[in-house]
With several copies, the nearest count.
Chain A
Amino acid sequence: MKSILEANEAAALRKALINGELPDERGRFGPFGGRYVPETLVPAFERLEEGVKKHLHSPEFQAEFQQELREWVGRPTALSRAPRLSERWGTEVWLKREDLAHTGAHKINNAIGQALLAKRLGAERVIAETGAGQHGVASAAACARVGLPCSVYMGVVDIERQAPNVDRMHRLGAEVLPVETGDKTLRAAINEAMREWVSDPAGIYYLLGSAVGAHPYPYLVRELQSVIGTEARQQMLDLAGSLPDVAFACVGGGSNAIGLFYALLADDVELIGVEAGGTGDGLGQNAATLATGTAGVLQGCYSLILQNDDGQVQETHSISAGLDYSGVGPEHALLQAVGRVTYVTASDDEALEALEELCETEGILTALETAHAYAAAKRWSQEHPGKRILICNSGRGDKDMPTLTKYAARTRTHAAA
């Protein structure tokens, strides 16, 4: 299985990507993607794929989904100008406000879409994994909304650093199942969810939270999240009068990023995904999968992963639980391979500083995950003054309070400064 493309192949795949022709029938984005799952789950995946084909773009499902997005999630989310941040950066910044979506992040777009699908497919209960807890909260809320029981797997490391979200899941009626195995974070939680699913492939719907995993998840999640970019694109035209020069999104599994980028692929807009640079470049010090990973199969799909020479997946580090993942969605792997999207990193420290700067200048407390996008955008704007920048403000930072209070304010200057 290869991961490096010939020039002509890359050009063809780039075109196919932009034309919306990927993934192909086998769930491939060029070499990436596919479906690597235990035999027990093969029929379940086939049913899911059938279900997606049948319902996802059907008028009935779309009517229901769009209504929930509008009336329950609160879409369209706002597009905010950021005048004081723009002034500081010497550029023009616009924010797509996914933090204003119900439960506080873009995750809900996917969660409610899949919950509606689960209901149509006759699932008896829903399981989900979560890292930052945002997808867990979103799943709990979406399942309550459609009336399905929900169990959420969450690593004990994440349970600690995202405590507010654990309480919220409980309140929303979900069962939170602590995962003590593996790296005790998102990756371990996905493994546990898969194990559970194997035990009842027919009764369980697995509500995966990012654009990762086996086909059709990367496709399904992208379709459900692409509302971000579709809205933002139109809002930029309406409010700013033109598309941005560049768009930034943080990349954990890659769902908010693909959600934003997908609608902009055909446009003359530079696209930059931002991974967690953690504390350094060494293996285990970051979660910079696209920047430093190699091709492999993890949790159902062929993509880039952080692994050693023996193919053992490595533990990662990021201050943000939602980016702390050794894999990445296969579509991003291809977007990088064909050169349509650039992926960079921002460190823990840069993210913390960016979070503070946004608080001070615009009164928006963003998620630590999202803060990585700001950090990279700030760096970029210093090299490209006067440009128009769009940033996906993927979620709010309330959940990060336990982590933030651990770190002293780094750049505390007064709000009025």
Chain B
Amino acid sequence: MQPHESISAAIEAAKAEGRTGLVPFFTAGYPEPAEFLNTLRAIAEVGDVVEIGVPFSDPMADGMTIQRSSFVAIQKGVTLKWIFDQLESIKGEIKIPIVFMSYLNPLLAFGFEALAQRALDTGVCGFIVPDLPFEESGEIRHALEQKGIGLIQLVTPATPAERLKLLARESRGFLYAVTITGITGGDSGLPADLAGYLDSVSEVSTLPVCAGFGIRSAEDIVNVGKHAAGAIVGSALVEVLEQGADPAIFLRQLR
């Protein structure tokens, strides 16, 4: 099984159990780099796939919570290399697939070949790159694919039908269905027409569809779960970490 296939497999497995796949997101090294691995371990106990945010100076698709976590992490010295090193130090320990969420520039600075290799070496199975539309993704996709690492595509309510098909076809791991037109961390609730939107995404996708942006509660997950295989919980989890609360407890009540 290729690394990216383990992602889809994990979501499918949850589905098979009658659950909605749970994909927690948190910013690496936030609020304290020293806590990174413990946090990761705790989250991995509950989640089906874990999404680790690589901090970036200019997180233009993110709301205040993730921006804040990004800046703090950078200030405290978190880098892509550091994250890989940390993962390497507990290699084999995390049993669920790891996905990196990163803006393009830190990946570019790291180098795509090196990136794919280190990902493979440290159990990172896929990448989500929020400022990389499919059209610009050729080089990195090529490098990742060489190692079986997936580049997860995002679709949004604004994505036209034709393009939706393209992105569904080209995604790996899962298809990321952004629930809202907006940035991460919104708390204005999920949109009214969510069901229709997710159904239409699921319809064209052979991969499991995970919904993300604005999912904060068990109720949200129930709603999303009726129309998508998985749910990504980001800002809500980062807020929990920010308050020093136990992520596992928070996640467990979502599951």
Contact = CB atoms under 8 A, between A and B. Distances in A.
Nearest to A309: B109
A38 B130 contact: yes
Contacts of B130: 38-39
Interface stretch (A88-96, A199-207, A240-248): A199-207
B79 interface: yes
A311 interface: yes
Given A40-B158, A195-B61, A299-B58, A35 B106 contact: no
A216 interface: no
Please classify how large the interface on chain A is, using the bins under 10, 10 to 19, 20 to 34, 35 or more. Answer: 35 or more
B169 interface: no
Give the most central of A190, A202, A297: most B CB within 10 Å.
Answer: A297
Interface string B147-175: 00000011110111001000100000000
Given A42-B163, A191-B60, A36 B158 contact: no
B60 A201 contact: no
Nearest to B78: A310
Give the most central of A1, A195, A300: most B CB within 10 Å.
Answer: A195
B58 A296 contact: no
Contacts of B80: 310-311
Nearest to B77: A310
B131 A34 contact: no
B108 A1 contact: yes
A297 B105 contact: yes
B219 interface: no
Contacts of B178: 39-40
Given A195-B61, A310-B81, A312-B74, A39 B182 contact: no
B163 A38 contact: no
Interface string A145-168: 000000000000000000000000
Given A191-B60, A313-B57, A40 B181 contact: yes
Contacts of B81: 310
Given A34-B136, A310-B80, A298 B159 contact: no
B57 to A, nearest CB: 4
Contacts of B71: 182
A214 to B, nearest CB: 9
A39 B181 contact: no
Contacts of A181: 64, 67
Please classify how large the interface on chain B is, using the bins under 10, 10 to 19, 20 to 34, 35 or more. Answer: 35 or more
B72 interface: no
A200 B181 contact: yes
B159 A299 contact: no
Contacts of A202: 158
Given A36-B131, A43-B160, A312-B56, A298 B183 contact: no
B139 interface: yes
Contacts of A34: 136
A198 B158 CA distance: 10
Nearest to A183: B57
Given A43-B159, A310-B80, A38 B60 contact: yes
A310 B159 contact: no
B133 interface: yes
B13 interface: no
Interface string A168-198: 0000000000000110000100110011001
Contact of B135 (A35, A38, A194, A296): A35
Given A39-B155, A181-B67, A312 B106 contact: yes
Contacts of A35: 133, 135-136
B211 to A, nearest CB: 14
Interface of B: 56-64, 67, 71, 74, 79-81, 103-110, 130-133, 135-136, 139, 153-156, 158-160, 163, 167, 178, 181-183
Given A201-B158, A201-B181, 14 more contacts: A38-B60, A38-B154, A39-B133, A39-B156, A181-B67, A182-B67, A194-B60, A195-B60, A195-B63, A199-B182, A199-B183, A297-B131, A299-B60, A312-B106
Q: Enumerate the 7 nearest inter-chain pairs by beta-carbon distance, A residue then B residue, closest first.
A: A311-B109, A311-B106, A311-B105, A310-B79, A313-B57, A40-B156, A39-B154
